[in-house]
Amino acid sequence: MATVATVAIVGLGPVGLTTAVAFASQGHRVIGFDIDENRRAEVTQGKPPFYEKGLEAGLKKALRQKRLSVVDRMDDAVRGSGIIFLCVGTPSKPDGSMDVGPLHDAAKSVATAWRDEKTRTVVVKSTVLPGTAESVVRPLLQAAGVPFRIAVNPEFLREGRALEDALRPDRIILGVDSPGTARILRALYRSSRCPVLVTDLRTAESVKYATNALLAAKVSLANELANLCDGFGVDYDEVLRGVALDPRINPQFLVPGVGFGGSCFPKDVRALVASGTANGYRPELLEAVLALNERQFARAIAFLEKELGDLVGRRIALLGLAFKGNTDDVRESRAVPIARELIAKGAIVAGYDPAAMKGFSKLVPEVHLVNSVEEALKGADGCILQADWPAFSGLTAKDFRGLMTNPVVVDGRRILDPKKMRGVRFHRIG
């Protein structure tokens, strides 16, 4: 009979809560803790403090089956567990470097609450630069004089599909301090049918950053190539079809648009640039990836100006305020610079998103938020699709022609078929 583990999750944000629900769904006993009292209360009531497809139902089921509980004290989380996951955020500092403060505080709190001689495994799931587990977490546990194992288990959760990815991962990376720690974590992930790479702590930390840097670079490269195709008068889709015939090239993430956003790509690439520079190496390619991404959104606005002329007084529908569909996360959303630039040019921006309205209003309060796609499009002179929500991908030329004053549409996520946009002045990058 398989052993049921008792796991503490420290930090009930998007990574921590999703991980907690996934472990509970797989039969483990999970104890959740977060320093935010309001967040603890929401989770206890079965209400995720953010939108993630399927998460609310999974959370309520885990609570109902008593496989997941939320405690108010770190002491209770530590005392009742054998494995402790640190899932706190590692935000960017103003210079782009990683702020290790939240992780330091969480690890110190765990060490302080460790009041017995039970050996526990502390797993860093937060995204951290190579060497962080050894330089930040390990010393705090050592200073407390507690018997511990330490590991790094980076997450590869796609927002909008995070629970699906947690339940059915396509790979698991385990950075460990010993073979014994690897055995414990392999047993924890026993239900997952995917490749498992066991390595040292720093390598596991590096895999996460290398993955995000490569994916971000692919997006910026796709944008660069698509911008060139625009200049050549060439269809990027046809070019990509030809390129993808080369077995050395994976076409995934080579999809152009208005740029990447979210909580991972921009933050992690900036952290790599800052850390590399501080260590004597300037990562110029990654600097270029960020620089192109910062200006890519302007191409959507340039097309509107080409079709409409001066944007002063023009009503522009902005569909999609989160950084992508199926999430309410507005961090680094390209909708923010798009909206600000349109407003600076005198346009009236009508914004709509199925989940991200509240968060977006705090960032760009000048945007007129509306309650539906139809309300956003009604009387609009132009439209920019910025996130790939299903509600947007089903729009037709008839919708645009029937509702807009001037059916000028920029598809910033390439979710509509240009061949079906008759009667619409339609553009997508590439």
Give how far Cα 366 sits from Cα of 301, 349, 351, 362, 363, Å. Answer: 18, 8, 10, 9, 9
- As a three-state string, the secondary structure of the chain is CCCCCEEEEECCCHHHHHHHHHHHHCCCEEEEECCCHHHHHHHHCCCCCCCECCHHHHHHHHHHCCCEEECCCHHHHHHCCCEEEECCCCCECCCCCECCHHHHHHHHHHHHHCCCCCCEEEEECCCCCCCHHHHHHHHHHHHHCCCEEEEECCCCCCCCCHHHHHHCCCCEEEEECCHHHHHHHHHHCCCCCCCEEEECHHHHHHHHHHHHHHHHHHHHHHHHHHHHHHHHCCCHHHHHHHHHCCCCCCCCCCCCCCCCCCCCHHHHHHHHHHHHHHCCCCCHHHHHHHHHHHHHCHHHHHHHHHHHCCCCCCEEEEECCCCCCCECCCCCCCHHHHHHHHHHCCCEEEEECCCCHHHHHHHCCCCEECCCHHHHHCCCCEEEECCCCHHHHCCCHHHHHHHCCCCEEEECCCCCCHHHCCCCEEECCC
Phi and psi at residue 410, to the nearest 5°: -110, 120
Is 87 considered catalytic here? no
Q: Distance between CA atoms of 405 and 402, rounded to whole angstroms?
A: 8
Q: Distance between CA atoms of 206 and 1, rounded to whole angstroms?
A: 35
Give how far Cα 195 sits from Cα of 22, 168, 174, 186, 199, Å. Answer: 18, 11, 11, 11, 13
Catalytic residue among 87, 194, 229, 264: 264
Which are the catalytic amino acids?
Answer: 264
